[in-house]
Amino acid sequence: MMRKIPLLLIPGLLCDHALWQHQVAVLGQISECIVTKKHMQYETIGRIAEAVVADAPDRFSLAGLSMGGYIALEICRRYGNRVERLALIDTSARADSAEQIEKRQKLIALCRQGKFTDVNELLFSVLVHPDRVEDGALKRRIVDMANRIGPEVFIRQQQAIMGRSNQVPCLSDISCPTVIVCGEQDRVTPLECSEEMAGLIQDSQLEIITHCGHMTSMEKPERVSAILLEWLTTH
């Protein structure tokens, strides 16, 4: 029997296993899919990275979306010799700008005022392609994830994100086969962030998903699963 590829899947902000539901179903045929929960538990990206790797096999493939990508990049910086393949999905290697930090702090303030429902509404409006804002089924799935995680974890995750380091100088050190995926209309981590990473990571491939926002694994699940399946089996 062929050995299944260990694949760590790291969800994004306010996301859990449901973010990767389609990918686990497809990729589980050839890989041992491990969806971490460590991204909910600590207040720094570095500490999360340590916790993820502490539970990981000696060698593994690694995929992260959004905040999950920030964590994946930190894992590569610290433990790159253990990463066989890397998938960076709708994410960025840059640290937060002052404007981004201000926006996050406003969302944290809303949470502390008991307005987590308002936060969910604000976030959903920018997470998906404009044509999907009225997609009730997709919205329920995304909001249900957020509600399972809740405001306390959201605040902790935002603090970790705001404190993360700039990974751009480290991108040229990544040498494993890398696929970079981005929704063409991603308004959270725009396409230019993915293009920057693709330009600096050797042996990387950029996949742009048309008519898609930030939540590619849920908006265009078949396309993302196909890309990751090729990424896992080509090398």
Summarize pLDDT for 16-30 with one digit per residue, the tens. 999 999 999 999 999
- pLDDT-derived band at 137, boundaries 50, 70, 90: very high
pLDDT given at position 3 = 77
Residues with Cβ within 8 Å of residue 53, at least 6 apart in sequence: 75, 78, 79, 82
Q: How far apart are CA 86 and CA 72, in angstroms?
A: 8
pLDDT at 1 > cutoff 60: no
Per-residue model confidence as pLDDT tens digits over 150-161: 999 999 999 999
pLDDT at 215 > cutoff 60: yes
pLDDT given at position 203 = 85
Question: By C-alpha distance, which of 93, 65, 59, 89 is closest to 176?
Answer: 59
Residue 153 is inside which H or E element, if any? helix 136-162
pTM exceeds 0.75, yes or no: yes
Per-residue model confidence as pLDDT tens digits over 103-127: 999 999 999 999 999 999 999 999 9
Per-residue model confidence as pLDDT tens digits over 177-211: 999 999 999 999 999 999 999 999 998 999 999 99
CATH topology for 5-96+161-234? Rossmann fold (3.40.50)
Could you tell me the residue ranges of all domains in the chain? 5-96+161-234
pLDDT given at position 125 = 93
Residues with Cβ within 8 Å of residue 99, at least 6 apart in sequence: none
Amino acid at 49: A
**CB 106, CB 198: distance < 8 Å:** no
* Strand arrangement, sheet containing 178-183: 31-35, 5-10, 60-65, 83-89, 178-183, 204-209
pLDDT given at position 94 = 98
| Over residues 8-16, mean pLDDT | 97
Per-residue model confidence as pLDDT tens digits over 45-104: 999 999 999 999 999 999 999 999 999 999 999 999 999 999 999 999 999 999 999 999
Annotate 140-179 with b (16+ C-beta within 10 A) or e (fewer).
Answer: eebbebbeebebebbbbbbebbbebbebbebbeebebbbb
* DSSP result, 39-71: GGT-SSHHHHHHHHHHTS-SSEEEEEETHHHHH
pLDDT given at position 235 = 64
| Over residues 209-230, mean pLDDT | 98
